């Protein structure tokens, strides 16, 4: 019986392993693990390279804390502190309603479980880190499957690699909502490609409750719906009613703001008020930030004075914005040639130009490099194009990986990045 049990146990283990690989493709899982382990270890070395910032609220771990505290809690600073406060106390802090509700509420529920019924701040921090990391893994898997739906598997894996090598990809494991939003958006796009429209719009509605770009997911899905029906009104069906779900999600969030703050758009007005954003036309925004960038580049006396070290990230935001504008044109070209879905271009377009309509009055393209992280069609375009131009792949990783390390070091030391 013992001899028979061994083959049976081996078969069970083989079945479990096959099931895991069916959900998490091996190339994606290996790439994500390498990236996640690297980001887990790197903060322990940051203290030897960069002095910590003098911003107490930005660096949850104190200078006197041990290496383990810095290894974990440095990922909960800046916006992470807002999310932890909302999870713990609700929308009681002035300006907190600028942060959409799904991510902090999930942190709260997971923290409640981790806290065994009596959660504390530490449980919420662990919950945020766990949620972001798992969402990042699912985002990678969904990106792989979405790209593989229309392209080769090599292109799908390379899209994931380009995403994880992006200079601000570490926000996908910090206590930020980027990884959750990206997972929901990619899930919605994949469901749409599979013509599972109810699931697609439910995920789009959840994305709308995660970040303000969620409504662009619904808009892009509408383009895909029309494309699948060859833009003929006679082919429309009841599934078109599902597109009301993201709108209802946004209305519910506005209703909450109206009931609690007397203004249904308080989440937008507070974002403008607390983060000093003002309306500007995109070309005016680009003209202003470009002029400031060149002044700092050529006048070394004012390039990165100590007083601006916390906030001025124009050295990365301005060049990356121009790069993504070029990638947008490239995506448009692929759509024109019938080699990319139109919904990707629409999503890319609106996610890129939306921040250009509301620059910050003091630092211009505030958080722009982080906003680009969710624009996955850019990484799809790079992956598809690098198949024809291999030097593009080499150049991307050569430039992006060192910059990723630099920005991780800044972020974990408490400096503002995005």
- The answer as to whether 278 is a domain residue is no
Task: Tell me what pLDDT residue 26 has.
Answer: 87
Q: Compute the average pLDDT of residues 212-222.
A: 96
Tally: H helices and E strands in the chain: 19, 0
What is the domain count for the chain? Answer: 1
pLDDT, one tens digit per residue, over 274-312 is: 777 788 888 888 888 888 778 776 665 444 444 444 456
Task: Tell me what pLDDT residue 38 has.
Answer: 86
- The answer as to whether 107 is a domain residue is yes
The whole-angstrom distance between residue 163's C-alpha and the CA centroid of its chain comes to 10
pLDDT, one tens digit per residue, over 400-414 is: 998 998 888 888 777
- The answer as to whether 120 is a domain residue is yes
pLDDT confidence of 117, banded at 50, 70, 90? low
- The answer as to whether 341 is a domain residue is no
Query: How many CB atoms sit inside 10 A of residue 185's CB?
Result: 30
Report the predicted TM-score, pTM, of the whole model to 2 decimal places. 0.90
Given a cut of 50, is residue 64 above it in pLDDT? no
Alpha-carbon distance 345 to 324, whole Å? 12
Domain range for residue 148?
25-176+388-418
Task: Tell me what pLDDT residue 66 has.
Answer: 54
Task: Tell me what pLDDT residue 379 has.
Answer: 97
Please tell me the least confidently modeled range out of 92-96, 108-112, 398-402: 92-96
Please tell me the least confidently modeled range out of 67-71, 377-381, 409-413: 67-71
Q: Compute the average pLDDT of residues 133-149.
A: 96
Alpha-carbon distance 288 to 364, whole Å? 8
């Amino acid at each position: 019986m013992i001899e028979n049990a061994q083959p049976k146990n081996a078969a069970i283990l083989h079945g479990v392993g096959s099931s895991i690989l069916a959900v998490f493709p091996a190339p994606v899982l290996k790439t994500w693990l390498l990236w996640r382990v690297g980001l887990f270890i790197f903060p322990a070395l940051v203290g030897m390279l960069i002095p910590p910032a003098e911003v107490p609220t930005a660096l949850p771990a104190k200078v006197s804390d041990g290496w383990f505290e810095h290894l974990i809690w440095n990922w909960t600073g800046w916006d992470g502190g807002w999310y932890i406060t909302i999870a713990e106390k609700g929308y009681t802090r002035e300006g907190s309603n600028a942060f959409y509700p799904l991510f902090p509420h999930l942190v709260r529920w997971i923290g409640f479980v981790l806290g065994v019924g009596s959660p504390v701040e530490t449980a919420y921090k662990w919950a945020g880190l766990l949620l972001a990391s798992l969402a990042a893994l699912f985002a990678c898997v969904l990106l792989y499957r979405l790209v593989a739906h229309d392209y080769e598997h090599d292109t799908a894996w390379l899209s994931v690699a380009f995403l994880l090598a992006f200079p601000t990809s570490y926000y996908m494991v910090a206590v930020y909502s980027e990884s959750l939003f990206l997972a929901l958006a990619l899930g919605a796009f994949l469901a749409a490609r599979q013509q599972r429209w109810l699931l697609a719009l439910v995920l789009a509605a959840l994305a709308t409750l995660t970040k303000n770009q969620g409504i662009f997911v619904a808009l892009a899905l509408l383009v895909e719906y029309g494309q699948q029906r060859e833009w003929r009104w006679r082919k429309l069906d009841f599934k078109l009613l599902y597109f009301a779900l993201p709108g209802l999600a946004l209305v519910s969030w506005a209703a909450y703001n109206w009931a609690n703050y007397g203004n249904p758009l308080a989440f937008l007005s507070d974002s403008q008020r607390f983060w000093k954003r003002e309306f500007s036309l995109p070309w005016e925004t680009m003209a202003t930030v470009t002029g400031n960038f060149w002044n700092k580049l050529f006048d070394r006396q004012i390039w990165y004075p100590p007083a601006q070290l916390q906030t001025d990230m124009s050295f990365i935001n301005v060049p990356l914005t121009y790069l993504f504008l070029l990638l947008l044109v490239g995506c448009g070209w692929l759509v024109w040639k019938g080699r990319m879905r139109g919904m990707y271009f629409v999503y890319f377009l609106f996610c890129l130009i939306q921040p250009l309509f509301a620059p910050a009055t003091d630092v211009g393209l505030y958080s722009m490099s982080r906003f680009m992280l969710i624009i996955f069609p850019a990484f799809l375009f790079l992956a598809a194009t690098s198949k024809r131009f291999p030097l593009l792949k080499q150049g991307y990783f050569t430039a992006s990986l060192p910059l990723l390390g630099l920005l991780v070091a800044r972020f974990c030391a408490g400096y503002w990045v995005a």
